[in-house]
Amino acid sequence: MISFETVNELTLKVTCRGNGVLFTKAGAFIAGDSAGGKNYRFEKVLLGPQGNLGQAALGSILRRVTGENLPLMKVSMNGDSVTYYANNSQHVLIYQLQFGEMISVESENILAFTQDCKYEVRFIGCGVFSQKGLATSVLTGNGSNAYVAILTDGNPIVLSNIQSRSTISVDPDAVICWMGQGYCDPQIKTDLSWKNLIGQASGESYAFEWSGNQPISVVIQPSERRGGISVQMD
C-alpha cells in the first residue's frame, strides 16, 4: 500500500507499507529511507506505463506527436520504505482519485502517480492557437490506491463550479489540470481579429471554457508557460 503526502509544499513523500509500484518524472528522486537494506529500485520506462507492449508503443507515438511526451521512471518497492521526490523547487499538489474519476493534466506537470492510475493521452480540440491546446494527459482512478502528484509554479488557485454551476474561463498557458467525472473537455474559445496581425491584440486571444453544465474543478498556477502564437508586424 502506497500513500502520498507533501513536505513543506515542495516535496512529495511516498510511504510504502509492503509492496507497491509508482511512476515518477525521470530524475525526480531526491532521498529514501528503508528498514534494513535498500528495498526499492528504479528502472526507466521506455514506452510508457501501459500494461501491454502494443498499447505502450501506440501511447509512446501519440505522446511524441502531441508534445505530451513524459519521461518516466518506474519505482518498485519490496518492503516498508519512505522515498522523496521533487522538481526544481516547484510546489506539489496531491490528489487521490476515486474509481472512474479523471484528472487531465499537462505532462510536464506530472510528478508521480501510482499503479492504480490509468494513463493515456487524448486530443481535446484544435491546437492552432495554443501549443498546449491540442492534447492532454489523462489519469483515471482504476483502484483504491490511485494517487497523483502534480507540479505547479507557485501556489495555485482552484476554481470550481460544482456548487455554483458558473462558467469558468482560463488561460490555457496557466492551466495545470482539471478534474471531474468523465473527460470534461473544455471548449476552446478564440478571439482573433486584424489586431493580431499588427501586434495590437490584448494577448488574451484564446481561452479554455467550461459551462455550468460541466461540473469541474480547475487548478491554475500564477504564471504562464511560453505558448501560443505571436503574429505581428515590425
**Cα separation, 211 vs 205, whole angstroms:** 19
**Cα separation, 225 vs 223, whole angstroms:** 7
User: Shortest CA distance to 124 belongs to which of 105, 140, 141, 110?
Assistant: 105
**Cα separation, 114 vs 1, whole angstroms:** 10
pTM above 0.85, yes or no: no
Please tell me the predicted confidence (pLDDT) of residue 137: 85
Backbone angles phi, psi at 53, to 5 degrees: -65, -40
Residue pair 103/16 in contact by the 8 Å Cβ criterion: no
Phi-psi group of 40: left, alpha or beta (phi > 0 → left; psi -120 to 50 → alpha; rest → beta): beta
**Cα separation, 48 vs 30, whole angstroms:** 22
Burial of 201 (0-12, 13-18, 19+ CB in 10 A): middle
Low-confidence ranges of the chain (pLDDT < 70): 46-69, 124-135, 191-205, 226-234
Residue pair 188/175 in contact by the 8 Å Cβ criterion: no
Domains of the chain from N-terminus onward: 2-220 (3.60.160.10)
* 142-159 confidence digits (pLDDT tens): 998 999 999 999 999 999
Instruction: Return all residues near 70 (Cβ < 8 A) that are at least 6 apart.
Output: 25, 48, 63, 107, 110, 137
Please tell me the predicted confidence (pLDDT) of residue 46: 64
* 84-120 confidence digits (pLDDT tens): 999 999 999 999 999 989 999 888 899 999 999 998 8
